[in-house]
Structure 1
Amino acid sequence: MSSITSRQTSKPPKFVSASATMATDTSNAFPCALTLDIPFPDARLASVALQALSVDKELSSLVKRDLTAVTAEGSSDPTVLRVEYKAATNRMLRVAVNSFLESLALVLEVQEELDVDAVEALHAQGARG
């Protein structure tokens, strides 16, 4: 009789939601592409996340990643972290994005737990809607 164990994962912080678009790149070398837009409560938190995540470079030459902070619609500040992936195969794309999302979850968890301004922004967003 075998038993199945499940690994508990922490829930993502409440102040972050993400949107993703996937497309095929016209480049033959990197035909698989994915863009993630991760909104933050303010530009400072987006910038901190960008700096923290930019340190880890992609290990495979079969994957390219571009991290930028962009302005959200109706905003003048760069509060959205945009991550653009291009990869040689769907599998390489999946592995790279999976690794990135684990790193992002850690950055968000630290921001939520240790950054007083992040907690205040979370409460302000909750009060607005």
Structure 2
Amino acid sequence: MATDATAGLPCELTLDIPFPDARLASVALNAIRVDKELSLLVKRDLSVIPADGSSDQSVLRVEYKAATNRMLRVAVNSFLDSLALVLEVMEELDVDVVEARQKENSG
């Protein structure tokens, strides 16, 4: 059943973005959640959830509801741009990510 906040928002999309560990998923959540949706006709909920078969909350879940498909597309494109920036910063500055990548490349 739709709540008052999401009534009239028929277009929905859920994205699950896996991270190597819960800490990085939490960092991404906290970095992205400060940017609120600009339109009242788009609602976004962010959370971290466990990966399948794990208790480690390493998946960033993003749930969108919007009034139109176009508004949903614009909001998701903007989110993906923000996520790309967060991932780029993690890759450049987070020591754990750099070390994990070096291990992958050497193995």
TM-score (norm 2): 0.88
User: Which ranges in structure 1 are unaligned for 5 or more consecutive residues?
Assistant: 1-24
Instruction: Give the letter for the 1:33 counterpart.
Output: E
**SS of aligned partner of 1:38:** strand
Return the letter of the residue paired with 1:43.
Answer: A
Local SS of the residue matching 2:74: helix
Cα shift at 1:122: 3.5
Alignment of structure 1 residues 1-129 onto 2, 5 Å: 29-124=8-103, 126=104
RMSD, matched Cα: 1.9
Gaps of 5+ in 2: none
Q: Which structure has greater helix proportion? A: 2
> Aligned partners of 1:39 and 1:123: how far apart in 2?
20
Larger radius of gyration: 1
Please give the alpha-carbon distance, in whole angstroms, between the structure 2 residues aligned to 1:77 and 1:121.
Answer: 18
Supply the distance in 1 between the matched residues of 2:27 and 2:74 (Cα, whole angstroms): 24
Q: TM-score, normalised by structure 1?
A: 0.73
Cα distance, 1:33 vs. partner? 0.4
Whole-Å Cα distance in 1 between the matches of residues 21 and 88 of structure 2?
16
Q: Which residue number in structure 2 is paired with residue 4 of structure 1?
A: none
Number of residue pairs the alignment of both structures matches: 102
Q: Percent identity?
A: 75
